[in-house]
Amino acid sequence: MLSQTTLQLLAASLAFTPFAAARDVPAIVRNFYNTVKGQGQCPNKLASGFYAKDNGPGNFAYCQDPKTNVLYLQGTGGALADMDIDCDGRQGGPADDGRCGKSDDTQSITSFADTVRGYKKGISDLDAKIHPYVVFGNAGDKSGFKTFDPQKHGVKPLSVMAVVCGDKLIYGIWGDENGVDGSKSMVGEASISLATACYGKSINGNNGHDQTDVLYIAFPGSEAVPGADGAAWGASNYDAFEKSIRAKGDQLIQRLAGGAGGGSPTTTAGQPKPTCTWIGHCPGDKCSNENDCDQDWVCKNGKCSA
């Protein structure tokens, strides 16, 4: 029989073992991952010349899949992205276990703090220890510094993203951008809560995942944004927040069916052309509002229409 002390320690361990929400990669996502990796490099580059490592090649690019319009990161030779650790945003919150203290470049604010504050959910910014956010896009005005704005390609701030790390699928949000932290434009970074869900608590502020095998997927369109009431922004731990965006993530990954094809996407005024990728939400399907319809289709007379 276990002693009372042992039982107490076990209970405490379970209580503080977050990240149970990571799940096996569904076939639809695994197929997309394998196709992207197998093609070696993306056939449709939106911007290139980025780095995953300071001492590595500058051949990483923001890519767009012409069949699904999703955005992702990829290098050459089958390389995807790595996962550096971001601890920006709210500091010292309820989930702070000290591991971010090892970071030497923590900022006290994330890119979309004003939007988070505007949600009026009791927080002024994202918390890297709670909110599984992806650092996506590159901003800065340094001469020769490569930049990329996902919003010009339909991706909305605080929208749900999918991350494939090893044999896990994690849902996160687009919560921050890569800044001018050094001499090169870097990609491949996520909040410490997302990284811990992927790789466990050996992760800390200065110790991430170096292998370039992580796939970050961004979904254009306003339907990818949970909004003020569509996520538990005021959650006190990762599991509670991730659970709140899971249904949205499950919905979005249906777009990946048959994706990662060659060619160039058709766009209008810089925005992705609407395509029918949601099963049951295509033109002609019944709807009660525009959120029921695929991407930029509208709900007209009770049916989804172009």
Supply the pLDDT for residue 291: 60
Distance CA 288, CA 154 (A): 24
pLDDT at 78 over 60: yes
- The neighbouring-strand residues paired with 173 are 133, 160
% of residues, the chain, pLDDT over 90: 66
Higher pLDDT among residues 9 and 138, named by residue: 138
User: By the 8 A CB rule, do 144 and 50 touch?
Assistant: no
Supply the pLDDT for residue 18: 42
Band of residue 24 on the pLDDT scale cut at 50, 70, 90: confident
- Mean residue pLDDT of the chain comes to 85
Supply the pLDDT for residue 16: 35
Structure confidence by residue, pLDDT tens digits, 109-165: 999 999 999 999 999 999 999 999 999 999 988 887 899 999 999 999 999 999 999
Annotated domain spans of the chain:
17-256, 274-306
Long-range contacts, stretch 56-61, CB < 8 angstroms, 24+ apart: 58/184, 60/187, 60/188
pTM of the predicted structure, to 2 decimals:
0.80
pLDDT at 281 over 80: no
Task: For residue 5, report the phi and psi dihedrals to the nearest 5 degrees.
Answer: -65, -45
CA dihedral 221, 295, 256, 22 (to 10 degrees): 60
